[in-house]
Structure 1
Amino acid sequence: METVEDLIRDFSAKLGSIAGEFGVRADQIISSSRPAPGIAPSDGPPDLVARARGIIASRKARRKYFPSDLFHEPAWEMLMALFIIYEGEHTMNVKQLVSCSDAPATTSQRWIDHLHKSGLIDRVTDTIDRRRIDISLSERGHAAMVNYLKDVTIG
C-alpha cells in the first residue's frame, strides 16, 4: 500500500513531466516565430528578440538542476513569448499562450486577466470564431518589454 508521501512524490513527478511537456510546446511555438527585424532603436541593443530568447533559454536551463516547480512565473513567460512574436505574427490565441506559461490553464487564465487589467496585453475576440480570443502585447506592454530588455545584461 502506498503512503501519502509516495503519492505526493508520484504526483510531483507527474506534474514535472507535464511542465516539461508545456516547455517543449512553448519552445516549438517560440522557435517557429519569425525574427523581429528592426525592433531596437540604434541606441539600444541590436537584437532584443535574441536577448529575450536568451532569457527564456537560461530560465529553462534551471530545470536541469532544480525542481521545475520552484520557478513559476506564468505572467513573465507569457509576456516574453508575446514579445518574441510581436513583430511577426503579433498574436497568440489563448491556448497557445497558456502552453507557454508552464502553469495550469486556470492559473494562466487568471494571469491573462491580470495582464489585461494592467494594460500590458490586448485581447481581441476572433470575428469568425467567437470562441477564439487572440492575445497580443499592448503598446504599453511592448514598450515595457523593450525598456526592460535594453536594461538587462545577460552573461
Structure 2
Amino acid sequence: MSIEEAHPDGAMQDVTFRRLCFCRMLLAERRIIARYLKKCDWSHAEWIMLLELYIADAADKPLSVSSLGYASGVSLPTATRLAVGLESKEFVDRDRDAFDGRRINVTLAARGRATMRCILDDCGKLRALAPEN
C-alpha cells in the first residue's frame, strides 16, 4: 500500500504536518538534553543509564551495573567506570547486592533524581506548547 492510499483525501498534508511537528519537537528536546549533558558533564551512555535508573526508581528497583551497561550499549568495565563517575558526582549510589555479593546495584541519588526531574519537566513543558495537530 502506498502512502497516498494509506492517507487519501488530502489527509497526507495533515500527516506530513504532524510528522514535521514531531521532528521539530525531537530536535528541540535534543537541544534541551544536550544543554544538561554539557552542564552535568554526562556522556550519551551516562544519559541512557540515568534514564533507565529513573524508570527503575519509580518502581523502587535497583539496577545492576551489567544491566546498565547492556541498556546503554557499553561493556561491563565501561559501565562500571561510568557508574563510579556518576557516584563521585553524587548522581547515583552504588551498593553490593544483599543476596549476591559479586553484584553491584545502582540507584538514583537525590541529586540524580532532582536533575532528571528538571530535564524531563523542561521537555514536558516544551511538549505542552506543541500544537495538537
Q: TM-score, normalised to structure 1's length?
A: 0.50
**Matched residues in 2 for 1:107 and 1:93: separation?**
13
Aligned length: 87
Higher share in helix: 2
In structure 2, how many angstroms separate the alpha carbons of the residues matched to 1:90 and 1:142? Answer: 14
5+ residue gaps, structure 2 = 1-25, 31-42
Quick one: distance in 1 between partners of 2:106 and 2:81? 14
1:112 to 77, 83, 89: 83
- The whole-number CA distance in structure 2 between the counterparts of 1:104 and 1:95 is 8
CA deviations over 1:81-138 (Å, ceiling 9, x no partner):
1001112143111111111111222222211110010100011112221101111101
- Which runs of structure 1 show a deviation greater than 6 angstroms over 4 or more consecutive aligned residues? none
Q: CA deviation at 1:77?
A: 0.5
Residue 139 of structure 1, aligned match among 83, 88, 110:
110
| CA deviation profile, 1:68-90 (whole Å, cap 9, x unmatched) | xxxx7110000001001112143
SS in 2 for 1:114: helix
Specify the structure having the higher radius of gyration (Cα).
2
Query: RMSD across aligned C-alpha pairs, in angstroms?
Result: 2.2
- Identify unmatched segments of 5+ residues in structure 1: 1-54, 60-71
What amino acid sits opposite 1:128 in the alignment?
F
Partner of 1:74: 45
**How much identity, in percent, do the aligned residues show?**
30
